[in-house]
Every structure is written in C-alpha cells, then in structure tokens.
Amino acid sequence: MAPEPPRPARELRRDALWELVGTIRRSLAQRGEILPAVWVEETVESIARGTGLGWFTGPTAQPTSLALLWAREGTGYGHLHSAGAGDPVAELSALATELLHHLPATVHRLDVGATGVTPEQEVAVGRRWSELPGTTVILRHSMVRDLSMDDVPPEPAVPEGVALVTVRKVPFDELCALDWRSYRGTPDETLLSESPAGNREMLENAFAGLFGTILDDASPAARTPDGTVVGFAVTCQEAIGVGILLDVAVAPEWRRKGLGRALLLRMLRALLALGYRRAHLWVTEGNAPARALYDRLGFRPDASAAIYRWSRPAPAGAEPPQRQSER
C-alpha cells in the first residue's frame, strides 16, 4: 500500500519536531558528520517560523520520517530521516520527490543525505532515486587513523623551497583563492560550495569555530620563500580525543611533490602531541588522489554515506520530476 502523502513539518508539535531533528543530529554525529552546535534549535525555529521547509510522514504525535530542505546560492540541500517505524524505503522515496517538487526555480542542483536507515535500505532508496531523471548518487567515505605513541607518524619531509607555518599566519584572501583553485576539476568541486563567495563563507565559518575549535598546531600551511601559499590543511576538534580534517588543498602546480603528505604528517604529529587519540576525515569515492594519499598515511574507511544529487536538466527551465500522485 502506498504511504500517505507527506505533510508540512510545521503541522508537527514543536516538541515532536525537536525530538526528531535531535535524532537526526545524533545519527549524523554517530556517523562522524559535523554540524554547527545550534543546528537543532535553528532548524526547529526556522520551520516553526515558516522560513525553513520540512515534510513528514506518519501521525502528527509520532512522525515516522522527516525531510528538511534548505536553499542557498542556487543550490538546494536536503536531508531525509526515518524514525524506524513504517516503510522507510517507501516513505523516504516519497519525501525525496516532495523535496524536488518544492525546489525553488532558482535552484539548479539538490544534494540530499539520509539517516535512520540500514545500509540495505539506503541502497534501496538510492536505487529509487536513480530512477528519477537528472539524478546521481555520490558516495562519501569516513576514514579514521588511530594515534598512539607506539606508532608516531614520521616527521614531514617538506619539498625543497617550502616552509610550514600555522594556517592562521596566511592572509585569508590567499587561502580562499588557493582553496577555490585547488578543487576545480576534482569530484568535490561542486560538493562544498559553488562559488568563490560561498567557498569563502565556508572557510570563515570553519575558522569561526562553527564545526568545532580549530586546532592551530594541526592546521599547517605551506609557503614558498616569496610568501606564496601553495598548500594548507585545516583541522578542528570533532569530539573529545578526535580531530577532524576539514580541508586539505595543494596548488595544482605543486602536486605529486610530497606536499599533501607533509601537511597531513604535520597534522597527525600535532594531534598526537595535543593528546588526541584519533584523526578522522571524509572523502568522496571518486577523489582518487585524496583517497590514495589518506590510504598511504594509514587512514582506514569506517563508514560510508550517500549523497543523492539532482541536477536541473538542460535546457534551463526544465521542471523537477513530478510527485507520484501527479503522474
């Protein structure tokens, strides 16, 4: 039997919504994904005010799944969560099409994540998503490396002519320009931000501690003698004893010279010196250079998460796929 059509989340009681959004946050944290500390409150408030968008399935007192939608800079971000009851695959699939249906016309791409489903259910949701026109599934892997005094990472061998300093010593504009340039042509170029301004905002948020306190010693930048920044890594505290690599970038003309390796060895040694037990990061399946680098440094995959992407098909103005009930 087809599930009931999703209803707007503002119809939910605030405590039920709070509970569900809190569960999403916990599920994401358990998987090692980081969110701003105020995420639950802001999400619930925005839906209650009508500035945030969400839909749910199941009874109002005990919703069985929830979808959230944000849009900025022409890109939409969505999240699907199953509370476990009901038929998670059918409900999340219905919520996914609901998100597409409500996308503003200015949005040309939507990235959606999911929680509360088993790996098998997530594959089934992905399969249904892939049946819609204009969709792809991007796989991201969480990788970890344990740190201990029995296994101290070697000192970084920095390429000749380059010196490592803490990233805060580097002019912020230069950092932003290098970051933007470094990701062009990689599978991650559209994942984090789609414009230099959006990229800058993301770095500003990171340095403001939105995702956790920045660990300066574990966040090195590489400079040439004339002061040009050619690479950097940014790390923050994810949890007690766990540091997460938020970003690593090496200028294209400086690649395959051991600089990425040197930046990450500095990061690992600094984390160990600061008393951290574990280094963590996320990497996209198709980012072969980054995966090879992490693999060589002893990082091992410990979890995966799919991003369901929809891109507005050319020609511009084409509409998102219709909901099941409208076909």
Secondary structure class of 73 (helix, strand, coil): coil
Number of residues forming the site for ligand COA (CB under 6 A): 22
**283: alpha, beta or left, given left = phi > 0 and alpha = psi -120 to 50?**
beta
Shorter beta-carbon distance to ligand COA: residue 10 or 257? 257
The answer to whether the CB of 233 falls within 8 A of the CB of 214 is: no
Is 288 one of the binding residues for ligand COA (CB under 6 A)?
Answer: yes
Alpha-carbon span 196 to 181, nearest angstrom: 9
- Give, in order, the Cα–Cα distances in Å from 113 to each of 28, 85, 126, 157: 10, 19, 10, 38
Is 249 one of the binding residues for ligand COA (CB under 6 A)?
Answer: yes
Alpha-carbon span 165 to 176, nearest angstrom: 17
Q: What is the DSSP string of 178-208?
A: HHHHHHTTSTTTTTS-SSHHHHHHHHHHHHT
User: Which member of 120, 149, 240, 256 binds ligand COA (CB under 6 A)?
Assistant: 256
Is 255 one of the binding residues for ligand COA (CB under 6 A)?
Answer: yes
Shorter beta-carbon distance to ligand COA: residue 80 or 249? 249
Question: In this structure, how many other beta carbons lie within 10 angstroms of the beta carbon of residue 109?
Answer: 16
Alpha-carbon span 19 to 66, nearest angstrom: 11
Q: Would you state the torsion angle of the CA atoms of residues 267, 243, 75, 7, taken in this order, to the nearest 10 degrees?
A: 170
Shorter beta-carbon distance to ligand COA: residue 24 or 283? 283
DSSP bridge partners of 70: 77
Q: Determine phi and psi for 312, rounding to 5 degrees.
A: -60, 120
Is 258 one of the binding residues for ligand COA (CB under 6 A)?
Answer: yes
Residue of minimal CB distance from ligand COA?
260
User: Which member of 170, 222, 248, 270 binds ligand COA (CB under 6 A)?
Assistant: 248
Shorter beta-carbon distance to ligand COA: residue 12 or 178? 178
Span interacting with ligand COA, options 22-30, 139-147, 252-260, 307-315, rule CB under 6 A: 252-260
Is 259 one of the binding residues for ligand COA (CB under 6 A)?
Answer: yes
Is 257 one of the binding residues for ligand COA (CB under 6 A)?
Answer: yes
User: Which member of 273, 292, 300, 318 binds ligand COA (CB under 6 A)?
Assistant: 292
| Residue 30 C-beta: closest distance to ligand COA, Å | 21
Shorter beta-carbon distance to ligand COA: residue 113 or 260? 260
Is 261 one of the binding residues for ligand COA (CB under 6 A)?
Answer: yes
- Per-residue binding letters, 194-233, with ligand COA (x by CB under 6 A): ----------------------------------------
The answer to whether the CB of 12 falls within 8 A of the CB of 64 is: no
Binding site for ligand COA (CB under 6 A): 182-183, 186, 188, 248-250, 255-261, 283, 287-290, 292-293, 296
